[in-house]
Structure 1
Amino acid sequence: MNFPQFAFNNVRRNARAYIAYFLSSAFMVMVFFAYTVFIYHPDVANNSMGPSAAISMKVAASIVYVFAFFFVMYSIGTFLKSRNLEFGLLTILGARPGQINKLVFLENMLIGLLAIVTGIGGGMLLSKFFLLLSTKIIGIDELPFYLPLKPMLITAASFVALFLVISIFTLLFIRKNRVLELLQGNAKPKKPPKASILLSLFGAALLTTGFFALRIELNPVTIILAAVTGIAGTYFFYSQLSVLFMRLLQRSRKSTWRGTRLLWVSEMSYKLRDNSRMLFLITVVTALASMGAGVVLSINQAGRDMYFGNPFAVTKTFYKAPSAEPDRSEIHRELKAAGVAYTETRIDTLNATLANSGGDGNRPKTLYLLGLAQYKELAGVLGFPAINSLGPNEAALIASTDSIISDYIRKGGITMKEHPTETLAVKKTIISDQADFLNKSTPIVIIPESTLETIRAAKSAKVGREITPYIEYLYKVPAWDNGSLPTASSQEAIVGEKLGKINAENRNNNSGGLTSYLMARGENYLLLKQSTAMVSFVSIFVALIFSVASASFLYFKLHSELAADIRMYRALSKIGLSTGEMSAVATKQIAILFYIPIFISAIQSLVVISPILGQMGIVNVVEPVLVTFAAYLVLQSVFFLIVKSRYIHSLKKMMV
C-alpha cells in the first residue's frame, strides 16, 4: 500500500466523521457554481435587468466563497484536534512529522476534489431549475439552458485554490506535541468550567450599550457602536454569562438536584464553555443573514400595505399651481384606452407643522390641511363619514391605522406653528386603512376654507413669497380594487408602466425643475417587488449555506467529543443509568446547542432592525422577522433530528 492509498483509506474509513463536512463543502461549491452559471449566461447582457442581477449574483458568490474559506479552515482544525491519538500512534510506528503533514495534505485535497466534482455535478443537474427559478423570482425573461464550460472552469479553479491554500496553511497548526500527549488524545480530564463575574458583567454592559445606542439617535457612529458592542457582548454571553448561569443553576439543589437534571446541567456547563466560539460564530452569522432577510420581508410587507392602503390607482400632483387647467390628458388617454371606468377627484392640500414638535433632535411633525368642501367630495368617493360643517376654530382629523393620534391631538385640539394663536378643537377623528394615499405617517386635517386661507396667507407672509397649495388629482378605478396584488401582465401594471414612462420623459424634458409628479400605484408596487426579489433570491441561498454550515459545525463538535461522551455514559450505565435516561439527557444537551443560537440571533435581529426600519416608516417588523426565524427553526429542526439520531445511536451501542 503506497502513501496516497493510505490517505484514501483513512478518508474512507472515517466517512462518518467526514460526511457532514464533505456534503457542506459540496453544497457550497454547487451554489457558487449556480451563481456563476447565471453570471456568465450569454443572454444576461441582452436583458434590461440582467447586468444588475449579475452584479448581485457576483456579490453573493463572493460571500459564499469567503464563508467557504472560513468554514473549511474551521472544519479542518476541528478534525486535526480530534486525531491526536491517531497521530501519536503513527509517530510510535515511525512516521516523521513531514509524513504526517503529507498525509493531512493529501486527505484534505482528496475530500476537496471530491466535493468540487460532486458540487459541480449537482449544479449541472440543477442549473436549468436554477435559471428558471431565478428568472421567475427576479422578474426577467426566461434564460435558456446552455453548456456552462466557463462557470465550470471558474468554480473548479476557485475551489481547488481554496482547498490548496487552506491545506498548506493548516499544516502550520499541527501541534508538535510529545507522543504521550498525542496518545492521550481527548481523554485528558477537563478542568471545571469557570466564569468571571467581572467579564460577565462586562458582557452584559456591552449588550446593554448596543441596545440603547440604536435608540438614542441613528447615525453611522451609533450603528457602528451598536455592531461592535453587540458582537463583543455576544461572545462574552457564550463564554462567560451562559457558563455562569449554568454554574449558578448547578448550585440550586431545589431546581437541579432531581432525576437526571443535575447530570445534563453539569455537562452543559462544559459544552457551553468548549463550544462558546462556535456558538458565537453561528449566532453572528445567523443574525446577519436573518437581518437581511427580515429587512427584505419587512419592505415587501410595507409595499403590500401601501398598495392596499392606497385606494387610488393613479395620482398626479402639481407642486406649482398652473395658470390654466392642469394637464392630465395622458392619464385620461391611457385609462380610456384600457376601457375601465374611473372617477377623478381634485384636492388642494397645504403643508403645516405641528407646534411643540421637533425637540430632542426629532424632526417636526407635519400635517396636510384640506378644505371642508373638497373633503365632502373625497368622502363620497372613499365612503368616509360625512362632516356637514365646522366652525372657524374647529377641525377633523383623518389618520391611517399606523399613526399615533396622541402625537397630534393634545388636550382635544391641534395647534400649528403657522397658526399659533389658535388651537383647533378636533370634533371628529377618522381612522382608516385608506388614509395612506398622501403619506402613510402624515395625517390630514380638515378645516373650513376660511381658516385654510388664513394659514396660507400667514405662511406666505413669513417666507416673503406667495405660497399655493399642492393640487392632487386622484383616480379611483373600481375594476382594479379586487383585493389582489397586481402582476406584471395585469392591466393595472401595463397602464402604470406606460404612465411611468410618460412621467420620466416629462421629467427629463423639464429643465426648470420638477413641477408635477405622476404616481401609478401598481407600477410602484411592482418596482419595489422587483428590486427586493433579487435580494431575496440571493439571500435565500446564502441563508441556506449558513444554516447547513452551522449544523455541520455542531456535528463536528459532537463527533469530536463522542469518544469522551461514550466513556462517560458507559460508566454511568454501570451504576444504573438507563438507555431512555441517557437519550433524554443527550437530547436536551444537543437541543440547547442547536436552538440557543437561533433564539439569540432572533432577539438581536428584532433589536437591530426595528429602529432602522422605523426610520424608514416601516413599523411592521416583528412578523417578517418571526417568519424568517420560523423558516430557520424548521430547517434547523431537520438537522437536529438527523444529528441527534446518529449521536444517540452511537451512544446506545456502548451502553451496558
Structure 2
Amino acid sequence: MNFPQFAFNNVRRNARAYIAYFLSSSFMVMIFFAYSVFIYHPGVANSEMGPSSATSMQIAAFIVYIFAFFFVLYSISSFLKSRNLEFGLLTILGARPGQINKLIFMENMLIGFFAIVTGLAGGMLLSKLFLLLSTRVIGIDDLPFYWPVKAILITSISFISLFLVISIFTLLFIRKNRVLELLQGNAKPKKQPKASILLTLLGTALLATGFFTLQIEIGSPTVLLVAAITGIAGTYFFYSQLSVFIVRLLQRSRKSTWRGTRLLWISEMSYKLRDNSRILFMITVVTALASMGAGVVLSLNQAGRDVYHENPFSVNMTYYQTPDSKTELNRIHQELEQAGVEYTEIRIDTLYSSAVTGDGKEHTLRLMGLQQFNKLASSLGLKEDNKLGRNEAILIDSEAIFIDSKEQVAADYVVNGMVTLKEQSAAALTVKESLETDAFAFFQSSAPILVVPEPWMDTVQTALAAESEANASPMIEYAYKVPAWDTGALPKADSPEAIAGANLGKWNAEMSKKSETPFFLTTRANTYMLLKQSTAMISFVSIFVALIFSVSSASFLYFKLHSELTADIRMYRALSKIGLSTREMSATATKQIAVLFYIPVFVSALQSYVVVRPVMSSLVNTGVGSSVLVTFAAYLVLQSVFFLIVKSRYIWSLKKMMV
C-alpha cells in the first residue's frame, strides 16, 4: 500500500466523522457555482435588472466564499485535534513529522477534490431550476440553459485554491505534542468547568451596553459599531462564562436538580457548554446576522404593501413651481386613457411655512387651504364639510410609512393650544382639532399639515414672496384617483396599473435626464413593484446564504458530538451497569443535544429583535415583530430537522453499547 492509498483509506474509514463536513463543503461549492452560472449567463447583460441582479449575486458568492474559508479552516483544525491518538500511534511506528504533515495535506486535498466534484455535479443538475427560480422571483425574462464553462473554471479554481491554502496554513500550526499526550488523545479526564465571576459580570455588562446603546439615536454609525462590538463580545462571554455560571447555580439547588436524571444531564451540560462555547457563539452570530437581514427585508416588504394600500391615488405629479404648460399632465392623461379607465384629477396647492415655538425654534410644516382640504376629504376617508373660524386651524400629523424625521411631531408645533407661523408672527392660530392619520402618506414629505382658512394662504404667500424677493409659488400636486384600480389587491407585474406605472416611470426617468425638470412623478404601482423586485432579489440571494449557514451550523454540532461519542459511550455504559435504563439514557442525551441545537436559535432570535426593531423603527413606520417571528419560525423548523437527524444517529450509537 503506497502513501496516497493510505491517505484514501484513512478518509474512507473515517467516513462517519467526515460525512457532515464533506456534505457541507459540497453544498457551499454548489451554491457558489449556481450563483456563478447566473452571473456569467450571456442573457443577463441584456436584461434591464440583469446587471444589478448579477452584482447582488456576486456579493452573495463572495460571502459564501469567505464563510467557506473559515468553515473549512475551523473544521480541519477540529478534525486534527480529534486524531491525536492516531498521530501518536503513527509516531511510535516510525512516522516522521514530515510524513504526518504530508498525510494530513493529502487527506484535506482529497476531501476538497471530491467536495468540488460533487458540488459541481449537483450544481449542474440544479442550474436550470436555479435559473428558472431566479428569473421568476427577480422578475426578469427567462434565461435559457447554457454550458457554463466560465462558471465551472472559476468555481474549481476558487475552491482548489481555498483547500490548498488552508491545508498549507493548517500545517504551520500543528502542535508538536509528546507521544504520551498524543496517545491519550481525547481520553484525558476533563477538568470541572468553572466560571470567572469577573468575566461573567463583564459579559452581562457588555450585553446590557449593547441593548441600551440601541435605545438611543440609531442613525449614528458609532452607535451601531458600539452596539455590534459589545453585543458580539457579550455573546461570547454568555456561552463561555455566563451559561456555565448558571448551570453551576442549578447544580447547587438540590431541591430542583437532584431528582431523577436531572443531575446527570445538567452536570453534563456544564461540560458541553464550555467545550462547545466557540461553536455556539459562532452559530449564534451567523444566525443572528442572517435573521436580521431577513427581518429587514420582510419589514421593507410589509412597508411597501402598506404604502400601496394607504395611497388612495394611483398617480401623483408634483410641481415645485407653477408650470408654464400642462404637457406633463397630457402624458398622464394619455397613459390612463390607453389603459381604458376612468379617473378623477385633483389639484392640491400647499405652501411650506415654519412654526415658531416658545424657545425660538422653527419647525417646518405645510399649509393647505380649507376648501382644498374639504375637496380631498372624501377621497382620503376623512370628515367632510369642516368649518374654521378666521384664526382657527386643523393640525394633521401625517404618519408616513417611510419616516424622514422622527423629530417632526405635532407636539412640537403647538404652544398653549396655538400655532404661531414665522411669516405671520403677529397673530396665532388656534388649533381647533388635531388629527393623526396616514391619509397624506402619498406626499413626498412627512412634515405635518396645517389646514387654514384661504385668507391665511394668501397672507403667508405674500410674506414669503417679500422675504425671498420673488414669486413664492405654492407647491402644486396633481393626484389621480382611478376607481377601477382600487380593488384592495396588490398589483401584479402584468396588471394594467403596473404596466401604466412602469411606462410613466420610464418616461419620468427619461425627462429627468434631458433637463432639470421642475416636477416629480410617482405611481404607487411602480413604486411597489420596484421595491418588490429589489427585496425579492435580496430575499432570493439571502435564502441560499442562510441555508449554507444553517447546514454548516448543524455540521459543526454533528462533528462535535461525534468527537465526544467515545467518551459518552464509556460514561453511559458504566451508568447502565448501575441501573440507568435505555429510556433514561435517551431522554438525557436528547435534552443535552436539544440545548446545543436550540439555544443559538433562541438567542439569535432575541438579538435580531433587539437590533432590527430600533433600526427599522427609524426607517419605516411599521411593526417588525411579525417579521422577526417569521424568520425565527423558519430557522426553528430547519434546525428541528437537523436536530432529529443528529439525535437519532447519536442515540442509535449509544444504544448499541448499553448493557
Shift in Å at residue 429 of structure 1?
4.8
Structure 1 length-normalised TM: 0.93
- Is 1:652 matched up with 2:623? no
Percent identity reads 68
Q: Report 1:337-352 matches (<5 A).
A: 337-352=338-353
Moved more, 593-602 or 386-395: 386-395
2:475 alignment partner, one of 470, 476, 492: 470
For the Cα contact (< 8 Å) 2:395–2:433, is it kept in 1?
yes
- The two structures, once aligned, show a CA RMSD in angstroms of 2.5
Letter of the structure 2 residue corresponding to residue 469 of structure 1: P
Structure 2 CA distance for partners of 1:581 and 1:339, relative to 1, 3 Å: same
CA distance in 2, matches of 1:452, 1:252: 75
Aligned equivalent of 1:216 = 216
Letter of the structure 2 residue corresponding to residue 81 of structure 1: K
CA distance in 2, matches of 1:407, 1:239: 48
Q: Report 1:24-35 matches (<5 A).
A: 24-35=24-35
User: Residues 257-283 of structure 1, C-alpha deviation per residue, up to 9 Å, x if partnerless?
Assistant: 222222222211111111111111111
CA distance in 2, matches of 1:476, 1:167: 66
Shift in Å at residue 426 of structure 1?
4.3
Shift in Å at residue 25 of structure 1?
0.5
Moved more, 192-201 or 403-412: 403-412
Aligned equivalent of 2:275 = 274
Structure 2 CA distance for partners of 1:95 and 1:313, relative to 1, 3 Å: same
Structure 2 CA distance for partners of 1:516 and 1:406, relative to 1, 3 Å: closer
Structure 2 CA distance for partners of 1:165 and 1:232, relative to 1, 3 Å: same
Moved more, 601-610 or 535-544: 601-610
- Is 1:413 matched up with 2:417? yes
Aligned equivalent of 1:387 = 385
2:493 alignment partner, one of 473, 488, 492: 488
User: Residues 616-635 of structure 1, C-alpha deviation per residue, up to 9 Å, x if partnerless?
Assistant: 23432222222122111111
CA distance in 1, matches of 2:12, 2:345: 75
User: Residues 383-434 of structure 1, C-alpha deviation per residue, up to 9 Å, x if partnerless?
Assistant: 4222331123433344556799774686883535536666654444555554
CA distance in 1, matches of 2:534, 2:362: 31
Aligned equivalent of 2:642 = 639
Aligned equivalent of 1:607 = 610
Structure 2 CA distance for partners of 1:440 and 1:15, relative to 1, 3 Å: farther
Shift in Å at residue 315 of structure 1?
0.5
Aligned equivalent of 1:296 = 297
Aligned equivalent of 1:203 = 203
Q: How many pairs does the alignment contain?
A: 651
CA distance in 2, matches of 1:345, 1:595: 56
For the Cα contact (< 8 Å) 1:299–1:618, is it kept in 2?
no
For the Cα contact (< 8 Å) 1:613–1:621, is it kept in 2?
yes
Shift in Å at residue 444 of structure 1?
3.2
Letter of the structure 2 residue corresponding to residue 374 of structure 1: Q
Structure 2 CA distance for partners of 1:516 and 1:269, relative to 1, 3 Å: same
CA distance in 2, matches of 1:392, 1:306: 35
Task: Name the SS of the counterpart of 1:215 in structure 2.
Answer: coil
CA distance in 1, matches of 2:557, 2:131: 32
Moved more, 400-409 or 538-547: 400-409
Structure 2 CA distance for partners of 1:246 and 1:506, relative to 1, 3 Å: same
Structure 2 CA distance for partners of 1:256 and 1:410, relative to 1, 3 Å: farther
For the Cα contact (< 8 Å) 2:73–2:166, is it kept in 1?
yes
Gaps in structure 1 of 5+ consecutive residues: none
CA distance in 2, matches of 1:365, 1:646: 66
Shift in Å at residue 578 of structure 1?
1.8
Shift in Å at residue 571 of structure 1?
1.8
Aligned equivalent of 2:510 = 505
Structure 2 CA distance for partners of 1:636 and 1:324, relative to 1, 3 Å: same
Letter of the structure 1 residue corresponding to residue 380 of structure 2: L
User: Residues 2-49 of structure 1, C-alpha deviation per residue, up to 9 Å, x if partnerless?
Assistant: 222222222222211111111100000100111111111122222222
For the Cα contact (< 8 Å) 2:284–2:604, is it kept in 1?
yes
Letter of the structure 2 residue corresponding to residue 3 of structure 1: F
CA distance in 2, matches of 1:622, 1:569: 43
Aligned equivalent of 1:543 = 546
For the Cα contact (< 8 Å) 1:137–1:537, is it kept in 2?
yes
Aligned equivalent of 2:520 = 517
- Is 1:194 matched up with 2:214? no
Letter of the structure 2 residue corresponding to residue 606 of structure 1: Y
Moved more, 520-529 or 126-135: 520-529
For the Cα contact (< 8 Å) 1:408–1:414, is it kept in 2?
no
For the Cα contact (< 8 Å) 1:298–1:618, is it kept in 2?
no
Letter of the structure 2 residue corresponding to residue 39 of structure 1: I
Structure 2 CA distance for partners of 1:350 and 1:31, relative to 1, 3 Å: same
Aligned equivalent of 2:563 = 560
User: Residues 592-612 of structure 1, C-alpha deviation per residue, up to 9 Å, x if partnerless?
Assistant: 111111222222222223333
User: Residues 478-500 of structure 1, C-alpha deviation per residue, up to 9 Å, x if partnerless?
Assistant: 11111222222211111112212
Task: Name the SS of the counterpart of 1:167 in structure 2.
Answer: helix
Structure 2 CA distance for partners of 1:408 and 1:345, relative to 1, 3 Å: farther
Gaps in structure 2 of 5+ consecutive residues: none
Moved more, 375-384 or 72-81: 375-384
Structure 2 CA distance for partners of 1:468 and 1:119, relative to 1, 3 Å: same
Letter of the structure 2 residue corresponding to residue 215 of structure 1: Q
For the Cα contact (< 8 Å) 1:60–1:538, is it kept in 2?
yes
Task: Name the SS of the counterpart of 2:580 in structure 1.
Answer: coil
User: Residues 294-334 of structure 1, C-alpha deviation per residue, up to 9 Å, x if partnerless?
Assistant: 22221121111111110100011111124667851111111
Aligned equivalent of 2:146 = 146
For the Cα contact (< 8 Å) 1:441–1:617, is it kept in 2?
no
- Is 1:570 matched up with 2:568? no
User: Residues 38-96 of structure 1, C-alpha deviation per residue, up to 9 Å, x if partnerless?
Assistant: 11112222222222222222211111111111111111111111111222222233333
Structure 2 CA distance for partners of 1:231 and 1:365, relative to 1, 3 Å: farther
User: Residues 474-520 of structure 1, C-alpha deviation per residue, up to 9 Å, x if partnerless?
Assistant: 10111111122222221111111221222223323334xx4211111
Aligned equivalent of 2:243 = 242
Task: Name the SS of the counterpart of 1:586 in structure 2.
Answer: helix
CA distance in 2, matches of 1:446, 1:640: 61
User: Residues 556-611 of structure 1, C-alpha deviation per residue, up to 9 Å, x if partnerless?
Assistant: 11111111111122222222222222222211211111111122222222222333
User: Residues 531-576 of structure 1, C-alpha deviation per residue, up to 9 Å, x if partnerless?
Assistant: 2222222111111111111111111111111111111222222222
Structure 2 CA distance for partners of 1:428 and 1:386, relative to 1, 3 Å: farther
Shift in Å at residue 640 of structure 1?
0.9
For the Cα contact (< 8 Å) 2:342–2:484, is it kept in 1?
yes
For the Cα contact (< 8 Å) 1:610–1:619, is it kept in 2?
no
User: Residues 448-472 of structure 1, C-alpha deviation per residue, up to 9 Å, x if partnerless?
Assistant: 2233344444555555554332111
For the Cα contact (< 8 Å) 1:357–1:364, is it kept in 2?
no
Structure 2 CA distance for partners of 1:578 and 1:120, relative to 1, 3 Å: same
Structure 2 CA distance for partners of 1:394 and 1:4, relative to 1, 3 Å: same
CA distance in 2, matches of 1:489, 1:295: 27
Task: Name the SS of the counterpart of 1:601 in structure 2.
Answer: helix
For the Cα contact (< 8 Å) 1:347–1:473, is it kept in 2?
yes
Letter of the structure 2 residue corresponding to residue 557 of structure 1: K
Moved more, 464-473 or 570-579: 464-473
Letter of the structure 2 residue corresponding to residue 522 of structure 1: A
Shift in Å at residue 248 of structure 1?
1.7
Letter of the structure 2 residue corresponding to residue 126 of structure 1: L
Shift in Å at residue 125 of structure 1?
0.4
User: Residues 101-135 of structure 1, C-alpha deviation per residue, up to 9 Å, x if partnerless?
Assistant: 22222221221111111110000000000111111
Structure 2 CA distance for partners of 1:463 and 1:489, relative to 1, 3 Å: same
CA distance in 2, matches of 1:238, 1:126: 39
Task: Name the SS of the counterpart of 1:216 in structure 2.
Answer: coil
Shift in Å at residue 142 of structure 1?
0.9
For the Cα contact (< 8 Å) 2:317–2:477, is it kept in 1?
yes
Aligned equivalent of 2:454 = 449
Aligned equivalent of 1:598 = 601
